[in-house]
Amino acid sequence: MIAMTVARVEKEPSPDDGGRTGPAGGLATVNEVRLIGRLSLAAEERELPSGDQLTAFRVVVDRPRDKRRGSSRVQIDALECHTWVARVRRAAATWRVGDVIEVNGSLRRRFFKTGGRLQSMTEVEVASARRVSRAAAATKQAS
């Protein structure tokens, strides 16, 4: 499940949002992502040169069928996720591949050089997450 939101703002811009308004008509842009899917790549802890800790993992979600386009060979989306939040990093360390998880966060696009070429990647920066259910194989082994 993928959810993105655009909200109508009924208040004046505040200093907290930089005093900016969104597109015409009083709409403000909202960067909110909610995913419920299967963990397809186990969480990997990384220490950055700055000393900050980052945990990265991948979530696979089913792609909704689009009746206008007909049948598509691609029926899932694999989304890269990362988090700086200690609580989420600790939880992710307990997840197993195949677990169903829910993550909430926002989209981030980062740029980097590989082989002298500038590239970009869009990821979900996770603010909160939880395991919804254990992987089927893990459940059977526990029985």
Comparing CA positions, the residue from 102, 110, 109 lying closest to residue 127 is 102
Domain count, the chain: 1
In a domain? residue 24:
no
Helix, strand or coil, per DSSP, at residue 82:
strand
Q: Which domain holds residue 7?
A: 2-11+32-65+74-142
pLDDT in tens, 66-98: 777 666 676 889 999 999 999 999 999 999 999
Burial of 9 (0-12, 13-18, 19+ CB in 10 A): middle
pLDDT score for 19: 52
Largest CA distance in the chain: 57
pLDDT score for 21: 55
In a domain? residue 17:
no
In a domain? residue 20:
no
For the full predicted model, state whether its pTM sits above 0.75.
Answer: no
Are residues 78 and 124 in contact, defined by beta-carbon separation less than 8 angstroms?
no
* Consecutive 10-residue averages of pLDDT for the chain (143 residues): 44 51 69 96 92 95 77 82 96 96 95 89 95 77 48
Residue 12 has a CB neighbour count (10 Å cut-off) of: 7
| Residue 54 belongs to domain with CATH number | 2.40.50.140
pLDDT score for 6: 41
pLDDT score for 28: 83
